Amino acid sequence: MNISTNTTNRGTRGIGNGKTQTFSYRAPAARSVQLVGDFTHWRRDPINLVRNRDGVWQTRVGLEPGEHPYRFIVDGEWRDDPECQTQAPNPYGSANSIRRVE
């Protein structure tokens, strides 16, 4: 898969020519929230989310069709996506959330 990334000022990253997906995480007291997954090479290219006035952090990402495992990093700690119903075990004894893109 040929992946090219670019980041804009509004928290949107395009990866390839994929479909835009919105990722959100509610953490009003957090100092930083990052999105990591197969589409960011995990920790190599994390995506910084942007906090809104309600304490919800958000970003939009262009993803190719398929299943994409991901997690959030909140203030340096790995976190599950509480809104995601689909998860799969990972080799570290926890689970990754799965985003399905049609």
Query: 69-88, pLDDT tens digit by residue?
Result: 999 999 999 999 999 999 99
pLDDT given at position 14: 54
Element at 49 (helix H, strand E) = none
Helix (H, G, I), strand (E, B) or coil at 2: coil
pLDDT given at position 9: 34
Lowest-pLDDT choice from 6-10, 36-40, 64-68: 6-10
Please name the residue that has the structure tokens 């007291």.
Answer: 29
Distances in whole angstroms, Cα of residue 5 to Cα of each of 34, 55, 81: 16, 27, 23
Fold of 5-101: Immunoglobulin-like (2.60.40)
Percent of the chain residues past pLDDT 90, beyond the cut: 81
Query: 4-24, pLDDT tens digit by residue?
Result: 333 333 445 555 568 999 999
Residues 6+ apart with CB under 8 A from 85: none
List the chain domain ranges.
Answer: 5-101
